[in-house]
Amino acid sequence: MSAAPSRASRQSAERGGRRAEWLAAMLLRFKGFSIIASRHKTPLGEVDLVARRGKLLAFVEVKARARHDAAIEAVTYAARRRIAAAAVLFLSRRPDLADCATRYDIIAVTGWRLRHLPDAWRDGD
């Protein structure tokens, strides 16, 4: 039986996650995206970043891990379903974005290294 994570380790993980999301947002801005939402919570799930470039809307999951492959693998089927459900709800509340194409991206963060996987999955994957 494992012990529950300590308050200090939860706070450290929270700080690490916020740092990773900030780095990911900077990368997306560098690539010409504007960030229209971050840590968007819905009853169905959360989207780390919603980024727009022209008529393209990217729903981005950010994962910080010791290795990029571990970060990518951490976006499980269940996580993808939650993110997609949250994205649908987000879009239902933003009719001004109805004409945008959408995709799901992953940004894996390892230290200061970022790996962007555009169009990492599609609905139903």
Divide the 125 residues of the chain into consecutive groups of 10 and give the mean pLDDT of each group. 70 81 97 97 94 98 94 94 95 95 97 95 80
Q: What is the pLDDT, as a whole number, of residue 123? A: 79
Q: What is the pTM for the complete model shown?
A: 0.89
Boundaries of every domain in the chain: 7-121
Q: What is the pLDDT, as a whole number, of residue 3? A: 64
- List pLDDT tens digits, range 68-100: 999 999 999 999 999 999 999 999 999 999 999
CATH 3.50.50.60 given to domain 7-121: no
Burial of 76 (0-12, 13-18, 19+ CB in 10 A): exposed
Q: What is the pLDDT, as a whole number, of residue 11? A: 75
Q: What is the pLDDT, as a whole number, of residue 92? A: 95
Q: Residue 2 to residues 5, 7, 9: CA-CA distances in angstroms? A: 9, 15, 14
User: Which of 115, 21, 6 shows the shortest CA–CA distance to 70?
Assistant: 115
Half-sphere exposure of 81 (CA within 13 A, CB side): 4
Q: How many of the other CB atoms lie within 10 Å of CB of 61?
A: 25
